[in-house]
């Protein structure tokens, strides 16, 4: 005789095994992003999602649309899109004040550094915080807290000891580090680096890209970086977007970028692009 069924409360279900870390939202999300300059299509129906923590390299020959793609993200280039969201904002819907806010969320790093040569490294970094500054600060005074942050950032890029040196006396690699610290001073949610290593020798190029990658990983700030050297994209990027005449012809892991894809992106004569 079977014992009467004892009604027991169902054991509390252990949900921990089902829980996954909440998937991060993309910092950049674009669908059918397109830029037309007169007759010329500079960008043709690009889809992309960029997530916190990753480095995405843009590859493509000169004129393929790399800078144009970056410029759309802060509303600098005129675009049409089914969707373009950057740092939680729909770019097309921003009024001038909204665009200013969006731009203050995006740090830019350029090929030629764009520092003020006669100002010290520290002051150049401090200018990155001017988006937050009140009118008094625009007259040239920075708070103690801002100075401390700027010094910490110079330390982050390995240049605290050069804080008082005018930027014109720094090497190219050092200037690019100052420029990166200046971008970080904005507390950006995204970093756009347009050919940041094109003026540097190969050793320094790796150095700067390594720094950008560690910033992406450690601060969870995604970095979109345009490069002309395929080998650097393979070594330092997580993903590659390959543009050819404004069209996205490759989008995938940097490690999957085979000779075939490189050929698709650049056409013929790809030998010089490896190193
Ligand atoms: N303001 C503009 N007015 C008209 N055409 C433009 C403008 N900006 C860019 N273009 C054109 O759009 C195309 C893409 O230019 P873009 O600067 O994005 O190329 P890129 O991939 O960054 O090239 P590079 O490697 O030389 O920097 C080019 O043909 C360029 O001439
Ligand atoms: Mg360019």
Question: Per-residue pLDDT for 104 more than 50?
Answer: yes
pTM, full prediction: 0.89
Please check whether residues 153 and 174 belong to one and the same domain: yes
- Residue-wise pLDDT for 188-217, tens only, equals 999 999 999 999 998 899 999 999 999 999
Buried b (16+ CB within 10 A) or exposed e, 64-73: bbbbbbbbbb
Is the Cβ–Cβ distance between 102 and 74 less than 8 Å?
yes
Ligand 1 centre distance from Cα of residue 68 (Å): 6
Taking only the tens place, the pLDDT of each residue in 71-88 is 999 999 999 999 999 999
Q: How many whole angstroms from 269 Cα to the centroid of ligand 2? A: 20
Residues 102, 87 contacting (CB under 8 angstroms): yes
Shared domain for 198 and 179, answered yes or no, is no
Lowest mean pLDDT among 12-21, 229-238, 264-273: 12-21
Asked if 53 and 92 sit in the same domain, the reply is yes
Return the residue whose CA atom lies nearest to atom 9 of ligand 1. 68
Residue 11 CA to ligand 1 center (angstroms) comes to: 63
Domain extent at residue 144: 117-187
Interval 113-122 mean pLDDT: 95
Claim to verify: residue 236 and residue 248 sit in the same structural domain? yes
Angle at Cα 32 formed by Cα 262 and Cα 250, nearest 5°? 10
Please report which ligand is nearest the Cα atom of 46. Answer: 1
In a shared domain, residues 252 and 202: yes
Q: Is the pLDDT of residue 92 over 70?
A: yes
What is the 121 CA–ligand 2 centroid distance (Å)? 26
Nearest CA to ligand 1 atom 28: 63
Residues in the ligand 1 pocket, defined by CB under 6 Å:
37, 40, 42, 60, 62-68
């Amino acid at each position: 005789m079977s014992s009467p069924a004892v009604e027991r409360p169902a054991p509390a279900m252990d949900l921990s095994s089902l829980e996954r870390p909440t998937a991060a939202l993309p910092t950049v999300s674009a669908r059918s992003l397109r830029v037309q300059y007169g007759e010329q299509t500079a960008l043709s129906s690009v889809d992309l999602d960029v997530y916190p923590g990753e480095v995405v390299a843009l590859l493509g020959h000169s004129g393929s649309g790399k800078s144009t793609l970056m410029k759309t993200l802060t509303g600098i280039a005129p675009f049409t899109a089914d969707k373009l969201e950057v740092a939680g904002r729909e770019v097309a819907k921003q009024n001038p004040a909204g665009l200013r806010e969006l731009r203050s969320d995006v740090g830019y790093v350029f090929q030629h550094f764009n520092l003020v040569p006669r100002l010290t490294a520290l002051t150049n970094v401090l200018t990155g915080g001017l988006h937050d500054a009140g009118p008094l600060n625009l007259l040239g005074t920075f708070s103690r807290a801002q100075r401390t942050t700027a010094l910490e950032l110079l330390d982050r890029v390995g240049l605290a000891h050069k804080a008082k040196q005018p930027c014109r006396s720094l090497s190219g690699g050092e200037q690019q580090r100052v420029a990166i610290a200046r971008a970080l001073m904005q507390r950006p949610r995204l970093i756009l680096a347009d050919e940041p290593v094109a003026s540097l020798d190969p050793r320094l190029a790796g150095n700067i890209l390594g720094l950008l990658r560690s910033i992406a990983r450690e601060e969870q700030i995604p970095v979109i970086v345009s490069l002309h050297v395929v080998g650097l994209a393979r070594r330092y990027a997580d993903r590659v977007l390959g543009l050819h005449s404004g069209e996205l012809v490759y989008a995938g892991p940097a490690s999957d970028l085979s000779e075939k894809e490189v050929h698709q992106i650049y056409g013929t004569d790809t030998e010089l692009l490896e190193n």
